[in-house]
Structure 1
């Protein structure tokens, strides 16, 4: 076929496919192909492209479109297909060239064969006709033209009618059992189509599954009433009555086809499953004198589009196999996972695949009713015993007697027992057999760890590949891959959850005219997402509600409040402020949610467990929160959580820095935690900072959103420890701009000053020195206005640093001296050590070695008071520089080695690159140029990763020195050029001058080395 309309529009000629990609061109061609060999007026083409508002040039643009389409077809080897005939155009199509014509002809042949009673021939013809379809008509569902939508919908309706005719033919051949799975899928996709529902009821009833057939009717009636406000039609009602009366010949006319008797007898009726309003109903007792069914087969039907899980199926099959060494032991395997992940589907599929290994039948029971309440084991045992032929008159009264009788009846049989949605171990124990020849497969949201001898297999959400495969099976691979970006977004919005994906796929299959992007847009609205994930009486919300309603009150409260945390993951202590109870008690409640599969937990070796809510679970949690807790209650709870965050961040800073040095704090409240919890969480404060980084940034954002300006700026400023240490400059900027905005909004001048001061420090680290001065100056003035001596001193210290880097050494020294006096007043010994270290560097830069050493000694004394090892390492590096300046190489090696050990022990990458640089220069002085060069290359890698630009420039300068010492002048020039580039971008004039001097020396040495020797 050259022309294809039954799916995405395609034209293929002898030279390959015609590239017709523009929407207008495709609309014009589709309209022409829908009426092959007939003239289509120009006016209809204009309407198809523009609707009621065509532009003045519409006719000319249609002519251009036709011309382009003709050219594309000609390249594909199809010239002169579109002919011009007044008042428009027509497409000349031969027999067998257009799939639409072939479909209609083949389907007509199928109907003729069916009317003559040739059902095999009819079924084959219908299958051939349906095989021509590749998706929804014309554009695979992506139709924007209103003129095209009606014929496309008509074609899709014709396709569905042929599907129903194919089902009629297969039913007439007695293939009802093979049709059940396909019909279930069709009814899910088309829940309001009564003929398909009637066909499913017939197939189920003829397969001995009358209870399920009646349930299909009940669900259909509910949907018709809910969606259309009408009762089912007469045919469906008559079919229901016929099934209730036990007559299989009472099918409605729409599915009244001759029945061909097959050799295999129909399976015995399955007992009814619990309805939405009642407990499970047992089947009627066997009539006196009638042999009970020997082989009960209670498994529900397996779905035809079962996807993925191959590894899990293999593991489960192995677990259910009999072990020769323990052949006497009962085999119990549980499948655990959250609701909607596909546990039941997997268990049923596995049960059917193992049916031949259990010739005496398969038992199946749901252990949880529609209202989330457990179904009593005694009721389940009654159902099992009735299916084994025990009449109601002989049914034991006590659960103990029923369990004994059940074990006795199946003792010598090979049966598989599937228990679905078990609540706890006690519920399951009554239903276990007594012999190993009847293995038990259990599904549960809980892990059932107390079930002796049971092995457990955890089932998780689909991978992206598995999810794509599922969507492709239900919607067709072409439809999915033609909108692959939208398909991937659907998977993400469904959280890769099997149930959610099936619902979305079913809704899209029922609406072939919808592009996948339309469903994506609907799902993006979190407030409506769970409404969208409902179809055919099945929904994600209902499953979550079932679990939620079965929780204790405190677990329900915690579940609701967890959605207040905007962070993607959290630690267990968070439960304490959410519930306002002790940490140990709160963590016990959190584990209830973990056991119920409402909260996920991830354990990584060397880290504390991390907890998270699945995306769809979070949406439901938010719904519960909005329903049960008012705004005032939520504000109080959020305040407790954020106050606890502030406490932890402050304590982490103290443990990393040896105190509250170099920090100012606000007056926001702190919520206390037990010392044991603090020790557990903050045993490695910098590692804790790193683990909690994303959550902490979110906490700053939430504090701002709640208007907690004092807490917000305090939290942001305390986090600088993390940002500075690891070079997270983007996070530094983001949190501080958020906090600056909320402090300005609330006229919090001290908070504004703190944020301006810290943003100035950020610009310093980025060596945007003019921007730094622009932030630090206003910060200094605001601190002075509110009388904050400590804040003003810290801002003055940083302004002096800017002066030093830009070469204004006198101004820098004056600023440092003023800051030092103020810092001594507030007893910030770490900040004093910083200032003294920088003052010592100025002395060294001026060649005043003795003064520099003396100042550094004062700095070391200050840092000893604070206990800050990181700052001590910085001063040691400067002391090493002083030793090198006066050629005290041994002393320099000692202090640089001490500094390197310290920075590596505290995890300070910036300090490490400086210490390595110092040791490298020691090696160079000792004549080990290769070792020095290797050390410097390691140092520049660390500095680059930390984005420490001044260190990068200085290390490149040192690499230039070492290369020059080795006589590698060209390489030395390359390193010095790199250093000059860094210093130029930083406006570091002093270092620019030093690099320029070195470049001049290297160039002179290079010229001398390569100058021709004098001839005398």
Structure 2
């Protein structure tokens, strides 16, 4: 189970961006640390205050703590984290699974490591791994956000007892595995704080004697024994003396010397320029220390990812650690010709030792002779391109005294399970690494933009990178831009090196040919999807299979390294592999089967979008769903959060499917269905893309009603998500022309509502109200009525018709409450809060704001929450609480950045005003400029007011903005519409 909370260091939370301590204020992190440390236990306010504030509690501990608890609850909800904080009789309790907290996960890992090390048949590999996992959880001193005496005492107990227990367990197992260099590395980190601990001293002596550093061991023993006697005098020096004597006698005999003779020394040429894979090189270096011990390590990954290049490069870097020899053997497990078998490897190694294999009559005798030669040697043996575990299984006993590094396109888990090996997956290179290599290869011709595009085409695949670099280098008179133009053509990168064994297609072909018929069929079908990552549901729909059968089959592709498994039952193909899969589908699948698979996929998406839409917006008119083909299981949703997770996961896939795969009949349904979901979650770029595609599909279908509805939705998106009223107006005019004089009151009501929406400015208020009222008179649908009533209220507010605005907004709110429309309730509550603010009723405004925030959080609409926070900032600014105002405005900016330009501009303007009031003049000017730029981009007249302020400021050496004018302009700006 993944850790969700951390207190072994600063108080951290698992967020979408990773495990982070950069959330909340210091006291919020401190309070959560106390609750996590005492998970599932009730703590009085006094106890929590002692942990958090020590001897200097706040004047009102209960109120202060309640504020922090409220913010912690909000943070947990925002990041989708488990845990409920209850409050009974002035005591708080965090109810949560303790295994999600690193403090308790640490103890569990240490206990499991101890069990593995001391069972009848010890598994020290497992014990080491578990102990290392436990120690890795400690990012800093425990409870680092707490500074009380109680926290200091708890830290000392943890480090003295729990941490040292884990460290001693790890050192014990490393010693049993003869990994003495690793022991010293860990001891060098641990011992400075515990330099007279006898157990740690014993471990250091074991490591030093194991590394044959007898003189250093004796010197260390004498020094530490003397210090124990003089500094702590507890008699433990005698225990250390007895242990040292036993150890010295045990290591008195020297190892048998290596017999004389030739030393095998062969590695292929290293790469002239090696880039990337630094993490993997560090992992390999950590496994193979300066005096290496026998180990088995396997590198796996898809074809072309650079496994052999990495292995050879690393082998060259550490070859000096292997004075007894190093050897490379290509086993051709995936190759055009026959693979190299164990017998040939044995024969070649005997020859490297100067022994003619033909002089030894049988393979069994040759193997025995090679085992004898390797018995007292520490060699590095690199076995490249191994087909599977069975390919090398007979060779492993012979190489049991060596460090064996294997590369394979398959995951060799058998080696990890049965031979205590370590399997490491090689990932594609990063974009910057590819750019560095290409720039070096191309030389003086390199230009940033074309090289960056070439790097994107390589997509992290070293083989593609090398072939692109070679193509460019071989044609020095050809421009890089021309190379890019050629390579962006369909599957042009796949074709590089065609006709040679080193081409990308040839590399993929070898893996493809090794698949079973069922695996190859599924691999081809995955190429029909337009993006690299798909869910298990889509795998099942493409294959026409149930989830469990689909899971078993796709997991078998994961082990071939043609497919990668990710979180939440999702699977990913490298883009070049996906192109290759699509190519194979065109060649090897019947057109009817391709069409059927795509049809199943589109039907699944259409029904999933329909079910998500019904779950959230069941009160609105639905987009008609098509029937599901036989054998396709539809996606249901447990709750609103389930819909949100699914929608965000499938965003890229939905956009690509609608744009490039769906026929017009599916496309307009998918676009109109998913549009409301994307709007709810502020996915504005995706929203505009799918609605444009939906409009094009609706035109192709020729259904007037469908086209009108889709154009209305597209215009609404231009207006609300992009603030592009010109494009919105074009869509509405086209819809009106197509609609003509059809007898459809509901569609006409929406047309009128949108036309009124486009009327902006004080001079159009009366016209807009009249148009809304016409729309209201003809609609019979509650959700349409609620929207029109809400907009009537906002328009009346814009025209200072406060009583009418109040009436309309409350009517809209009551309708939306009855419909269960949480986002709509948030919008109406926010408008009522603005109304109260404009009428000089701050308490009423605050009350509506807090209700609105709850609704927007429930609807998972951060832009709405940000809008409320800007209003809260204005209210607290006017009350003189600039600290709270800054907090609200800053949080608003975080929530809306890169999602809503208008709310971002309002938040910047508010922050600038606060900066100005607190004397941070340069910062204020900078923020006003940013706000003005944003309003200008939106064509919003609020930019003019800010620029006037900036002009006045520039006219004075010590600028001063009149307070009354600032307040009036701010009130005017904040009273403007932010959300629909």
Instruction: Using structure 1 for the length normalisation, give the TM-score.
Output: 0.57
2:673 — aligned with what? 718
Instruction: Quickly say closer, same or farther: Cα 1:616–1:875, change in 2 above 3 A.
Output: closer
- Larger mean CA deviation between 901-910 and 373-382 belongs to 373-382
Q: Are the equivalent residues in 2 in contact too, given 1:957–1:979 (CA < 8 A)? A: no
Instruction: Quickly say closer, same or farther: Cα 1:597–1:853, change in 2 above 3 A.
Output: same
Instruction: Quickly say closer, same or farther: Cα 1:832–1:331, change in 2 above 3 A.
Output: same
1:368 — aligned with what? 333
1:458 — aligned with what? 425
**2:632 corresponds to 1:694:** no
Instruction: Quickly say closer, same or farther: Cα 1:424–1:734, change in 2 above 3 A.
Output: same
Q: How many residues align?
A: 683
Q: Unaligned regions of 5+ residues in structure 2, if any?
A: 1-258, 953-960, 967-980
Per-residue CA deviations over 1:105-155 (Å, capped at 9, x if unaligned) read: xxxxxxxxxxxxxxxxxxxxxxxxxxxxxxxxxxxxxxxxxxxxxxxxxxx
- Residue among 522, 534, 538 paired with 1:558: 522
Instruction: Quickly say closer, same or farther: Cα 1:597–1:861, change in 2 above 3 A.
Output: same
Structure-to-structure mapping, 1:469-480, within 5 angstroms: 478-479=443-444
**2:864 corresponds to 1:900:** no
Instruction: Quickly say closer, same or farther: Cα 1:713–1:299, change in 2 above 3 A.
Output: same
- Residue among 731, 735, 748 paired with 2:703: 748
Structure-to-structure mapping, 1:927-942, within 5 angstroms: 928=881, 935=888
2:287 — aligned with what? 319
Question: How far is the alpha carbon of 1:960 from its aligned partner?
Answer: 8.8
Per-residue CA deviations over 1:873-919 (Å, capped at 9, x if unaligned) read: 12222333454566554333222211123324433233224423443
Question: How far is the alpha carbon of 1:432 from its aligned partner?
Answer: 0.1
Instruction: Quickly say closer, same or farther: Cα 1:785–1:338, change in 2 above 3 A.
Output: farther
Question: How far is the alpha carbon of 1:547 from its aligned partner?
Answer: 0.6
Instruction: Quickly say closer, same or farther: Cα 1:432–1:889, change in 2 above 3 A.
Output: same
Q: Are the equivalent residues in 2 in contact too, given 1:299–1:364 (CA < 8 A)? A: no
- Residue among 860, 863, 870 paired with 1:910: 863
Structure-to-structure mapping, 1:971-990, within 5 angstroms: none
2:732 — aligned with what? 776
**2:784 corresponds to 1:831:** yes
Question: How far is the alpha carbon of 1:297 from its aligned partner?
Answer: 4.3
Question: How far is the alpha carbon of 1:672 from its aligned partner?
Answer: 9.3
Please tell me the root mean square deviation across aligned C-alpha atoms, in Å: 5.0
**2:603 corresponds to 1:643:** yes
1:525 — aligned with what? 489
Structure-to-structure mapping, 1:136-215, within 5 angstroms: none
**Mapped partners of 2:928, 2:739: distance in 1:** 43
1:862 — aligned with what? 815
Structure-to-structure mapping, 1:50-89, within 5 angstroms: none
**2:579 corresponds to 1:619:** yes
Q: Are the equivalent residues in 2 in contact too, given 1:936–1:959 (CA < 8 A)? A: no
Instruction: Quickly say closer, same or farther: Cα 1:390–1:901, change in 2 above 3 A.
Output: same
SS of 1:368's equivalent in the other structure is: coil
SS of 1:421's equivalent in the other structure is: strand
Structure-to-structure mapping, 1:352-367, within 5 angstroms: 357-359=322-324, 362=327, 364-367=329-332
SS of 1:456's equivalent in the other structure is: strand
Question: How far is the alpha carbon of 1:576 from its aligned partner?
Answer: 1.8
**Mapped partners of 2:381, 2:890: distance in 1:** 66
1:106 — aligned with what? none
**2:302 corresponds to 1:338:** yes
1:919 — aligned with what? 872
Instruction: Quickly say closer, same or farther: Cα 1:865–1:382, change in 2 above 3 A.
Output: farther
Question: How far is the alpha carbon of 1:753 from its aligned partner?
Answer: 0.7
2:112 — aligned with what? none
2:593 — aligned with what? 633
Question: How far is the alpha carbon of 1:367 from its aligned partner?
Answer: 4.9
Per-residue CA deviations over 1:663-694 (Å, capped at 9, x if unaligned) read: 54145445699989644897443344334333
SS of 1:451's equivalent in the other structure is: helix
1:68 — aligned with what? none
Instruction: Quickly say closer, same or farther: Cα 1:841–1:687, change in 2 above 3 A.
Output: same
2:204 — aligned with what? none
1:594 — aligned with what? 558
**Mapped partners of 2:556, 2:602: distance in 1:** 24
Instruction: Using structure 2 for the length normalisation, give the TM-score.
Output: 0.59
Question: How far is the alpha carbon of 1:627 from its aligned partner?
Answer: 0.9
Question: How far is the alpha carbon of 1:758 from its aligned partner?
Answer: 1.4
1:801 — aligned with what? 757
SS of 1:532's equivalent in the other structure is: coil
Question: How far is the alpha carbon of 1:855 from its aligned partner?
Answer: 4.2
1:122 — aligned with what? none
Structure-to-structure mapping, 1:192-591, within 5 angstroms: 295=262, 297=264, 299=266, 301-303=268-270, 305=272, 307-308=274-275, 311=278, 312-313=280-281, 315-321=283-289, 330-351=294-315, 357-359=322-324, 362=327, 364-368=329-333, 370-371=335-336, 377=342, 389=355, 395-396=361-362, 407=371, 410-433=374-397, 436-452=400-416, 453-463=420-430, 466-467=433-434, 478-479=443-444, 481=446, 487-506=451-470, 520=484, 522-534=486-498, 537-591=501-555
1:130 — aligned with what? none
Per-residue CA deviations over 1:522-581 (Å, capped at 9, x if unaligned) read: 534334543432476432222211111111223212222223222354434321222121
**2:843 corresponds to 1:890:** yes
**Mapped partners of 1:405, 1:579: distance in 2:** 52
Instruction: Quickly say closer, same or farther: Cα 1:787–1:445, change in 2 above 3 A.
Output: farther
